[in-house]
Amino acid sequence: MEQMLVSMGHQACGALTLWNYPSWMRNLIAHDINGEDRPNPVDMAALEIYRDRERGVARYNEFRRNLLMIPINKWEDLTDDVEAIEALQEVYGDDVEKLDLQVGLHAEKKIKRFAISETAFFIFLLIASRRLEADRFFTTNFNSQTYTEEGLKWVNNTETLKDIIDRHFPDMTRNWMRCSSAFSVWDSAPNPANYIPLYLRLGP
């Protein structure tokens, strides 16, 4: 477990942005029922867009309207990236209403100091609050009978993910995690003799 955590700490996730889909997932070789390779490789990025359209997932502007958010009128409302605007123009022309949701979410300007954009953040707020309200371990069962007194101390006195990791693996955090947040890339130089890298990066 320590080896896995250290490996993840030194492997930054790929940014949620355009042109950062893992290359190997865009050329997957599928197998038939006999285990033989199929002749046509699978592009997961294209397949995700296809499935959204097939299932009737709202396009970007309609999705924002459903959230009572202001839709875009032109590509410049979505992003300041000139290269992205040119690519969107090439694919969708001037019709911003055709913009697929996933493409829009990845092209959208990010909130300052956040990894996600405004539309994604709206969904995050809705899901996070609903998850807390619906979880009995945060509501009716949030008591010492369920957690024990020691467990309640852990919950009430824990502030960050780093605190949790440090509780269970103090030697590892002392040796490897010298940053203020467990979500940032850990800042000590990795030693190949101390851990096995798992290469869990989500980008090319």
Q: What is the pTM of this model?
A: 0.72
* pLDDT at residue 183, as a whole number: 80
* pLDDT at residue 188, as a whole number: 56
* pLDDT at residue 17, as a whole number: 92
pLDDT in tens, the chain (204 residues): 888 888 888 877 788 899 998 899 999 998 888 888 888 899 999 999 999 999 999 999 999 999 999 999 999 999 999 999 999 999 999 999 999 999 999 999 998 878 889 999 999 998 988 988 999 988 999 999 999 999 999 888 998 888 999 899 998 888 888 887 888 788 755 444 443 333 333 333
* pLDDT tens sequence across 70-90: 999 999 999 999 999 999 999
* pLDDT at residue 193, as a whole number: 43
Query: HEC states along the chain?
Result: CHHHHHHHHCCCCCCCCCCCCCHHHHCECCECCCCCECCCCECHHHHHHHHHHHCCCCCHHHHHHHCCCCCCCCHHHHCCCHHHHHHHHHHHCCCHHHCCHHHHHHHCCECCCCCCEHHHHHHHHHHHHHHHHHCHHHCCCCCHHHHHHHHHHHHHHCCCHHHHHHHHCHHHHHHHCCCCCCCCCCCCCCCCCCCCCCCCCCCC
